[in-house]
A and B are shown apart, each in its own frame.
Chain A
C-alpha cells in the first residue's frame, strides 16, 4: 500500500537558518504530494502541494519539488522564523484515490 516516511524530529534551528525536512514515499503510479502544518493548538493547514512529477509547490517561503526518480518531496525554507515552529506532515493521495496518507510528522522548533 501507499506510505510516507519523513525524517524524525524534533528539528531545532536558530532563527534565519536553512530548513530541510526530508520526505520519501511509496506509491504506485503518480500520487499527488502535500505538506501540511499544525501550529500549536490549531488544526492541520495545507501548506503546499504538487500534483505531478517535477512540479514545485511553494507557499510562505516554503517549497518542495516532486521528484519521481527519487520518490521524494523534501520541504525547504531558506530562512526560518520563530513563528514557523510547528509540526510538519508530509502526505500523499494515490493516483486513483481520495484519502490522504500521512507521515508521522516532524516537530520543528526555531529559537531566537
Chain B
C-alpha cells in the first residue's frame, strides 16, 4: 500500500528547539496539504502545494513555520523556536488536481509534544 506517509510519528522536544517533519504523498498526486489538529478539535488547514509551488497559507502559519516541497514530491514542515502551544498532531494529505482534488488522502500524522 503506497499511501501517504509521515515521519516521525511522534516527536518530543523542548521549548525553543527547532523541529522538522516530513511527508511523502501518494506518488501520482500533485497536491499536498498540511493541517494541524489539537485535542478534541477537527483539523485546521495550514498550507498547500501544487507541485513545488506553495499556493495558499493560513494565518495560523506564523513566521516560525515554514513548509517546502522542493521537487514537487515530498514536503517538509519546519517549526522554529517551538512553543508549548505548538503541541498538536500535524497531518499531511495529498490529492490529484482539478475536481479530483476534492478527495484528499491523509497520512497517519506526526504528534508533536513541546515540553
Contact = CB atoms under 8 A, between A and B. Distances in A.
A104 B91 contact: no
Interface residues of A, number: 22
B48 A98 contact: yes
Interface in B81-114: 91, 93, 99, 101-109
A12 to B, nearest CB: 17
B43 interface: yes
A51 B105 CA distance: 17
Given A98-B56, A99-B48, A45 B101 contact: no
A98 B31 contact: yes
B74 interface: no
Contacts, number: 56
Q: Which among A46, A103, A104 has the highest number of chain B CB atoms within 10 Å?
A: A46
Contact of B102 (A45, A93, A104): A93
A104 B40 CA distance: 7
A40 interface: no
B41 A46 contact: no
A29 to B, nearest CB: 14
A32 interface: yes
13 contacts: A36-B106, A46-B103, A46-B104, A91-B42, A93-B102, A98-B48, A98-B55, A98-B56, A99-B56, A100-B33, A100-B35, A104-B42, A105-B42
A99 B103 contact: no
A100 B42 CA distance: 10
Interface in A1-40: 4, 32, 34, 36
A69 B43 CA distance: 27
A98 B45 CA distance: 10
Given A43-B107, A43-B108, A93-B102, A104 B45 contact: no
A93 B55 CA distance: 16
Interface in B4-59: 4, 31, 33, 35, 40-45, 48, 55-56, 58
